[in-house]
Amino acid sequence: MLGHLSNWVAGVFGSIGDVSVYWLVLALALKTAESAFIGLGWRNILRAAYLRARLSFKTAWGASQGGTAINAVAPAQAGTAAMIGIFRTSIPEAGAGTARRLISGRCCDWLRVGRRPRPLL
């Protein structure tokens, strides 16, 4: 069994070696840009929802990518729960409704109606 696994791993790395370095670097740069834009989006959403919050890009990007990593190995969207927990602890004014607000997307309602969102609780 382990012999088959080691052959498979060797085959995967052999296949990666067949890809041009140009394409590997391009894929890495695009994936990094994608994750950075996701972190930027979370930071902007939370700054709009909590006007006094000074959530940094570094925290938002780290929480987003940490959640993605946990979701890759843990069941039931555990990474999403961890990400929301990081956001709640990073924003002092965030209360009990933060998880519901983030999950339901209501933190952006003010864009449609031209005002800040009402508290959910």
How do the domains of the chain map onto residue ranges? 2-95
Helix, coil or strand: residue 105: coil
To the nearest 10°, the Cα dihedral for 44, 45, 49, 55?
-50
Contact 90, 62 (CB under 8 A): no
Which two three-digit tokens encode residue 69? 């990593």
The confidence score (pLDDT) of residue 112 equals 52
The confidence score (pLDDT) of residue 121 equals 45
pLDDT band of residue 5 (cuts 50, 70, 90) is confident
Spatial separation of the C-alpha atoms in residues 70 and 83, rounded to whole Å:
9
Q: Which of 14-18, 95-99, 112-116 has the highest mean pLDDT?
A: 14-18
Contact 117, 86 (CB under 8 A): no
Segment 96-112 shows an average pLDDT of 55
**Interval 70-94: pLDDT, tens:** 999 998 889 988 998 898 888 887 7
Cα R_g (the chain), whole angstroms: 19
